[in-house]
């Protein structure tokens, strides 16, 4: 049929967190905003709907809408791989790498503003809490089982 509208609709927003390899504090203040902007651009290029990126020297947080045609594991692999290459090339850090995995949490429409604010205020937040404590709290709040060995 001509002019037929797509029949798949949905709202799936995710809060994704991942750290640098071995949680090394490699993301310098001076270029961190460029990395966050680049991560959002990479999500947009993959047809995801970026809302905010934030973090500190050893990890990032992303909030974005995931359309039904994208698989999260493929998207995250592509974004992490491409952003590592960007850091190698633009920042001259050939040893930079992300940790292998990531954590993700579904975000309901009503919670998007609060999560957006939380991610935007990461530097302030981490004056009081370590990344490990933050991650454990997120995992527990969302009922996600985890293995202590992988929390470094």
Q: Rounded CA gap, 54 and 122, in Å? A: 6
What CATH number is attached to the domain comprising 30? Answer: 3.30.70.1290
pLDDT at 139 (0 to 100): 92
Q: Rounded CA gap, 151 and 23, in Å? A: 10
**How many other CB atoms are there within 10 angstroms of residue 32's CB atom?**
18
Share of the chain above pLDDT 90, in %: 78
**Is the distance from CB of 119 to CB of 61 less than 8 angstroms?**
yes
For residue 1, pLDDT beyond 50: no
Domain count, the chain: 1
Q: Has residue 1 been placed in a domain?
A: no
Q: Has residue 81 been placed in a domain?
A: yes
For residue 3, pLDDT beyond 90: no
pLDDT at 5 (0 to 100): 54
Mean pLDDT estimate for the chain: 92
pLDDT at 130 (0 to 100): 87
Q: Rounded CA gap, 82 and 76, in Å? A: 10
Q: Has residue 8 been placed in a domain?
A: no
Residue range(s) defining the domain that contains residue 84:
13-150
More confident residue, 86 or 127: 86
* Structure confidence by residue, pLDDT tens digits, 16-74: 999 999 999 999 999 999 999 999 999 999 999 999 999 999 999 999 999 998 999 99
Listed range (43-47, 76-80, 142-146) with the worst mean pLDDT: 142-146
pTM score, whole prediction: 0.90
Q: Has residue 5 been placed in a domain?
A: no
pLDDT at 125 (0 to 100): 83
């Amino acid at each position: 049929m001509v002019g037929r509208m797509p029949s798949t609709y949905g709202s799936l927003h995710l809060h994704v967190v991942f750290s640098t390899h071995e949680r090394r504090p490699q993301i310098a203040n001076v270029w961190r905003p460029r990395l966050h902007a680049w991560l959002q651009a990479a999500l947009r290029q993959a047809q995801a709907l970026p809302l905010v990126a934030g973090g500190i020297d050893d990890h990032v947080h992303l909030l974005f809408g995931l359309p039904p045609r994208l698989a999260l594991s493929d998207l995250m692999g592509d974004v992490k791989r491409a952003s590592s290459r960007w850091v190698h090339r633009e920042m001259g850090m050939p040893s930079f790498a992300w940790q292998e995995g990531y954590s993700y949490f579904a975000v309901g429409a009503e919670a998007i503003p609060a999560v957006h604010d939380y991610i935007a205020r990461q530097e302030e937040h981490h004056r009081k809490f370590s990344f490990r404590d933050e991650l454990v709290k997120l995992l527990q709040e969302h009922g996600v089982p985890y293995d202590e060995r992988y929390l470094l």
